[in-house]
Amino acid sequence: MQTSQSNGRAVRGTLSLARPAASLHMLAYVACPIKQVVRDHFDALAAAHRKSTGETLSCHIPMGCHEDDPYEDLIQVKTIDELPGVTASVGFGDFMTPSFFTRFVAKGCFETAHRGEVHPAFSSSGLRDPEGWYTPYSVWAHVLVVDLPGLAGRPVPSRWSDLLDPCYADQIIADGAHHQRFAQIPLLHYYRHFGEAGVVQLVKNIRETWHPAQMVKSAGTAASKGASIFIIPWSFAHARRWPRHMRLVWPEEGALISPMYAWMKASASAALKTVGQALVSEKLGRHCAQAGFPSLNPGVDNRLPSDARFCWLGWDYVRTHDTQKLGTLTADISENAWLAKGADR
């Protein structure tokens, strides 16, 4: 198995980064905080598989968060034979676009790696693909943390729609993104459920955008600059024991999620099925859950509140909208609203 560091240098195995994608058993794009544990998981799988079968599993997991990707043009391939056996990704990027869907997905080129039950917390989320083409295995989730004294008599928000109330003007700290001011997940959800006006109103209520690590450090202190509500990834929120004046709020609609998913070529070989099963396994699910990325595997203790639910865009919406274009649109709407807000001050 080949793995790499952020400089692209191979550090194990003999697989060259120039190796054609079609020769890979798996290409896995993984959320940055869990790349190392996923790589270790598949290193161990590859070693065990080689020992028992003599066959080498060729898997590539790009490391680092912003490094060059030798397979970034994969979306442009024209035939199924040019694709890896299993590909994992995060969010609403290339592999959820209408062109990819038309070219491969709708033609039945892929099948799920998991047909069993899902974790009860996901039972009402609709995240399992009803067509059995994509395989969700974990999620990147956003929840709320609230500074109770900082609310100064305002109600504690219990739903995502509550954050649109003008009473929360300048009360919200939102998650930022490295390539745009606001993280994509909340923007897409607000656009999906409340339209452009909802995105604009949310921005009006946002005081600043912070890295989640800054939220963990400064939420509920004088450094929060008067903000009392924090939209924060669960991967950060779960890692801190919050003081009594801070309340973790799991909104009634559910945590807003971006799926971590895979697709596997239909009529997969035994080796590919081994890789697919490892991706949805309880063992990897435990590693994901420990890092704050809840697993769909029903055997995993996700360490969630008892009433935890999840809310996402939905398969019907994803398959009838170009989510990449919506990502650009919502980024533009939010940035324009932010600039207009500054001009009004």
Predicted pLDDT of residue 20: 81
187-221 burial code (b ≥16 CB/10 A, e <16): bbbbbbebeeebbbbbbbbbbebbebebbbebbbe
Residue 224, pLDDT above cutoff 70: yes
Query: 119 falls in which pLDDT band (50, 70, 90)?
Result: very high
Q: Let me know: does 27 contact 87? Beta carbons within 8 Å.
A: yes
> How confident is the model at residue 6, as a pLDDT?
31
pLDDT at 252 over 70: yes
pLDDT of residue 21: 86
| Domains in the chain, CATH or no CATH each | 3-139+256-317 (3.40.190.10), 141-255+327-344 (3.40.190.10)
Give the pLDDT of residue 16.
38
At residue 32 the predicted structure's pLDDT band, cuts being 50, 70 and 90, is confident
Record the tokens describing residue 140, joined without a space. 């990147």
More confident: 180 or 170:
170
Gap between the Cα atoms of 175 and 210, Å rounded: 5
Measured CA to CA, the distance from residue 133 to residue 105 in angstroms comes to 7
C-beta separation of 158 from 254 below 8 A: no
Q: Rounded to whole angstroms, how far apart are CA atoms 14 and 3?
A: 9
Name the more confident of 129 and 15: 129
Q: Is the dihedral of CA 280, 281, 285, 287 positive or negative?
A: negative
Across the range 164-188, mean pLDDT stands at 92
pLDDT, greater one: 87 or 345 = 87
Question: Tell me, what amino acid is at 259?
Answer: P
Residue 67 — very low, low, confident or very high, per pLDDT cuts 50/70/90?
Answer: low
Q: How confident is the model at residue 205 (pLDDT cuts 50, 70, 90)?
A: very high
Report the chain's terminal Cα–Cα distance, integer Å: 56
Instruction: Inform me whether the pLDDT recorded for 176 exceeds 60.
Output: yes
- The set of residues, in sequence order, having a beta carbon less than 8 Å from that of 341 and lying 6+ positions away, is 203, 204
**Beta-carbon-side half-sphere exposure of residue 345 (alpha carbons within 13 Å):** 10
Q: What is the pLDDT at residue 3?
A: 35
Confidence check: pLDDT of 2 > 80: no
Give the C-alpha separation, 327 to 199, whole Å.
12
pLDDT at residue number 7: 32
CA distance 140 to 189: 13
pLDDT tens digits, one per residue of 78-103: 999 999 999 999 998 889 989 999 99
Cα angle value 149/177/332 (rounded, 5°) = 100
* DSSP per-residue letters across 247-315: EEE--TT-EEEEEEEEEEESS--HHHHHHHHHHT-HHHHHHHHHTT--B--TT------TT--EE---H
In the predicted model, what is the mean pLDDT of residues 24-43?
Answer: 92
Are 25 and 58 in contact, with CB atoms under 8 Å apart? yes
Q: Compare 91 and 268 and report the one with higher pLDDT.
A: 91
